[in-house]
Structure 1
Amino acid sequence: MGLGANQHGEVQGAVHKPRRFVGDVTWDEVKKHDGKTMKEKWLVVDDQVYDITQWSKRHPGGYKVITHYAGQDGTEAFTAFHNDEEFVRKHMKAIHIGQIMEDQVECKDVVKDFAELRKTAEQMGLFNANFLFFFLHMSHIIGLEIASYIVMRTYGFNWWTFLACVAMHGTLQAQVGWFQHDLGHLSCFKSSKWNHFFHYFFMSTMKGASAKWWNHMHYQHHAKPNVMNKDPDVRLEALFVVGEKMPKVVAESGKSSMPYHLQQWYFFIIGPPLLFPLYFQFMIYRHMIKQKEWTDLFFNSLYYARFLFCYVPLMTWWQLLLFYEAFRVMESIWFTWVSQSNHIPMEIDVDSARPWLELQLRATCNLEQSFFNDWFTGHLNFQIEHHLFPTMPRHNYVRVAPLVKSLCKKHGVDYKTKTLLEGFSDIVRSLKSSGEIWYDAYYHLQDQFPEN
């Protein structure tokens, strides 16, 4: 949610100055400037008020992620997303228009205590990456890529080489997904430029996806997790309803297009297997073309050029297509079950401008720690710690977790941890529960207002 510089730490040209300096501002006035009540958008960081109306359109992190905090205090989100906070603050003067009135300045205990926790984590060096950890992780990805090619080149296409290479490619694609996630959150290198360079490389040329599309979607998710109309992962889509409130909203709209009371069953067919091969493929290219991200598209094309160069001589076209779709389905199933186990069973609601700790803990839960779970989930079994500290290297989540638990206990915030299987089963359970809520609401309305 950078206000004056891009994620490389480079200033994005001159920022339009606000029309006036307001001076002391009340919170009631800030809340009106949310882009809905009034067209202007104001944002508060450390009790200072900024006019982001024009700047939001040029915001390097995307228009939506910053405007999700319009009319609100974005201090904690601002701190969470920036490694070099002092550098960014230097370029915020041009859009500074005032400050919150002194008699309205307040700091909730939970906000103050979380800020202290972050300082403690910084002093412990928990934001410093272990280069060896990420080097070994990167090496095992590249090793799987090379091993798959060698097996297919040496033994040719048959049933066992097909299964072995699909397993290796599916695994490496899942692990690339976790690694690009680390790079996208700027947690692997001290230099943002190196993080972005390798993010482009692994997301595009090793995965065949789009770094810019991922940034656009994922930062919104972190800014407002499980917040309807703000988190893109819980949008009012046509295929599924989630949580307790969304089913009622969809039912009351009268636009229900699916038998949602059966969604826990059709989830197995159109959810995990098709998320990557179908939905993500469409959305990635739609974003790159619509936003004219030609550099992103170029790097993306390198993946397919490399893949075809390596495997066209080794397979027929139908074998190649079968091979490609098979490991994409495996990757999709892997990613979907892991990513949804932490969020879908949790609270899904409209935005109520909660403090950072409460916002993230209501929307996330953890899975038990083990060597396998760490590897299998890319350390997203520590989803709570990841959401609280998105730029923290993942190998340090286990060290900060006891401090987070202690803070949650102090403030009565529920810190949930499940087994891997419990996390997976809760996805189905929550889909079933949400479907039943929709069914009751939808058919109750139909009984009240039958069609003529």
Structure 2
Amino acid sequence: MKFEDKPKGNGSLVDENQLDLGAKHQANGKPGASGKAKLSARQEANAKCDLPRKSLNRYTWQEIQRHNQEADQWLVINRKVYDVTGWADRHPGGPKVLNHCAGEDATDVFRAMHPNPDIVQLYLKPLLIGELAPEEPNQERNKNSQLVEDFQELRRTLETLNMFNANLGFFFLHFAQILILEALAWVIVWHFGSGWLVTIFISLLLMIAQVQGSFLQHDMGHLSVFKKSKWNRLMQKFLVGHLKGLSSKWWNNRHFQHHVKTNIYSKDPDTDILPLFVFGDLQSIEYGKKKIKFINYEKQHLYFCMISPFLTSVYFNLESTLEMWCRRHWEDIAWAITFYIHYFIIFGPFYGIFGTMVLIYLVKFLESPWIAYVTQMSHIPMKITKEENQDWFSTQVLATCNVEQSFFNDWFSGHLNFQIEHHLFPTMPRHNYHKVAPLVKSLCAKHGLPYVKKPMLKAFGDILRALKKYGALWKEAYCTHPEI
């Protein structure tokens, strides 16, 4: 499917011929869902609202940009205007994602975040309220229209090249790697006993399995690896809940905000890690002026190394558990419980209840620094700013960077060393990132945008250097400005 500037039809984003996915393939090149599944989706959408076939209301960007509040949210997708206010609470990616884009052109965001946009468009149809006035540009006037067009052309090229096709064998091998590591850990403790040397060794094996599980569940959260979306959802719940002990809803809501508004204060939750850290020039200076001092942030680059074992093992685990309980996500709770059950079944006979719990959290403590460094090396040193409503391409390129490719770097980071490509094309399978990187780099050069790529050790060091810089800015503002 190709996104055109002015779609034709009866008010939907695609015409009736495009909705027949049985004879054609979807945008990512995968075969369409079964005819029965498509019929159900079509009937459900039509049952929600039967739009009259009449001319649509026309709006200017000035009018649309006023509807950017939680109680009043409009989006523009392919020049069509949608009121998503009532739909936000049911949005699978969480309500905040829609609110963050309210009053804006969300064409590229929508296309980037949905692996099966044709089905999603059926649910958008009842929300359609109008279209842009003919004299209005496709995007807000502050955006680089030529860059937007070039990026959309690049995406169409990648779709033609089947770069959004997932290789099922690739992901099966990574899943098999996790099972083999867990099985090997059990065999070792069964054969050699539960001495402390054996415990340390199997902890390392289980830690690697957990890390690779994190990367794999990250894939399942973005991709259509399987032909039917219900299998993707089930696999993600299994990986997040059963292999990680976390909530898939919590992960989706948090992670999709990060993708949609990367490194943007108050919209990307990864920029708000108070009381532990201050990130970016603006936040550091602002908190210094306001005399916010939970910790001496001047030393944050030093205690990052000490805190990193606790970031995912304690901080995010606690956040996930609280959200599951407070929001009564019973299915996620059930999946998370199976994580502990399967550890007790495998290792309980050797370590007992208390010893198995110690083993679980030893593995989590070992995993946490790995995940912290791999995920933050591409964001903390980059541009962190307030909302500037830039185009999708510029926002993602300026807020991310890559790490040099090698077999080890790819495996060690789960291909998140290609963060630029991953953020531009979240639904692209990671085994294709290196293929599209030269095209992305070329587009950056054409429009004068930096395409940052580093050695991995330098990327790790840049985390600490950036934290030290932010801490110094906070200290200067804290000491030189009177208390507000």
Residue-by-residue CA offset, 1:155-177 (whole Å, 9 max, x unaligned): 11112211210110000000000
Residue 306 of structure 1, aligned match among 324, 335, 342: 342
CA distance in 2, matches of 1:388, 1:424: 22
**Equivalence map 1:289-304=2 (5 Å):** 289-304=325-340
CA distance in 2, matches of 1:210, 1:64: 17
Deviation at 1:252, TM superposition (A): 2.8
Q: TM-score, normalised by structure 2?
A: 0.87
Residue 208 of structure 2, aligned match among 146, 171, 176: 171
Residue 43 of structure 1, aligned match among 56, 72, 75: 75
Aligned partner letter, 2:60: T
Contact 1:187 1:392 (8 Å CA) reproduced: no
Q: TM-score, normalised by structure 1?
A: 0.93
Deviation at 1:106, TM superposition (A): 3.6
Structure 2 partner of 1:81: 113
Aligned partner letter, 1:387: H
Structure 1 residue 64 corresponds to structure 2 residue 74? no
Deviation at 1:374, TM superposition (A): 0.4
SS at match of 1:91: helix
Deviation at 1:16, TM superposition (A): 7.9
Structure 2 partner of 1:25: 59
Residue 240 of structure 1, aligned match among 270, 273, 277: 277
Residue 321 of structure 1, aligned match among 354, 357, 363: 357
**Equivalence map 1:146-165=2 (5 Å):** 146-165=183-202
Residue 365 of structure 1, aligned match among 401, 405, 427: 401
Contact 2:203 2:362 (8 Å CA) reproduced: yes
Structure 2 partner of 1:402: 438
Structure 1 residue 260 corresponds to structure 2 residue 260? no
Aligned partner letter, 1:104: E
Q: Percent identity?
A: 40
Deviation at 1:93, TM superposition (A): 2.3
Contact 1:241 1:247 (8 Å CA) reproduced: yes
Residue 415 of structure 1, aligned match among 451, 464, 475: 451
Deviation at 1:304, TM superposition (A): 0.7
Contact 2:290 2:478 (8 Å CA) reproduced: no
SS at match of 1:102: coil
Residue-by-residue CA offset, 1:179-231 (whole Å, 9 max, x unaligned): 01111112433332221111111111122122111111111100000010000
Deviation at 1:322, TM superposition (A): 3.0
Deviation at 1:130, TM superposition (A): 1.4
Deviation at 1:419, TM superposition (A): 0.5
**Shift in alpha-carbon separation, 1:236–1:17, aligned structure 2, 3 A:** farther
Between 235-244 and 166-175, the greater mean CA deviation after superposition: 235-244
Structure 2 partner of 1:100: 132
After TM superposition, what 4+ stretches of structure 1 lie above 3 angstroms from structure 2?
7-18, 316-319
Structure 2 partner of 1:206: 243
Contact 1:80 1:389 (8 Å CA) reproduced: yes
CA distance in 2, matches of 1:320, 1:92: 48
Contact 1:186 1:192 (8 Å CA) reproduced: no
CA distance in 1, matches of 2:284, 2:398: 19
Deviation at 1:432, TM superposition (A): 0.3
Structure 2, unaligned runs of 5 or more: 1-12, 14-32, 140-144
Aligned partner letter, 1:311: F
Residue-by-residue CA offset, 1:60-83 (whole Å, 9 max, x unaligned): 221101111001111100001112
Aligned partner letter, 1:28: Q
Residue-by-residue CA offset, 1:311-358 (whole Å, 9 max, x unaligned): 121014443333222211111011001000010000000111111110
Aligned partner letter, 2:69: G
Residue 376 of structure 1, aligned match among 409, 412, 422: 412
CA distance in 2, matches of 1:55, 1:197: 23
Deviation at 1:232, TM superposition (A): 0.7
Over aligned residue pairs, what C-alpha RMSD do you find? Answer: 2.2
Structure 2 partner of 1:91: 123
Structure 2 partner of 1:288: 324
Aligned residues: 439
Structure 1 partner of 2:309: 273
Residue 181 of structure 1, aligned match among 201, 210, 218: 218
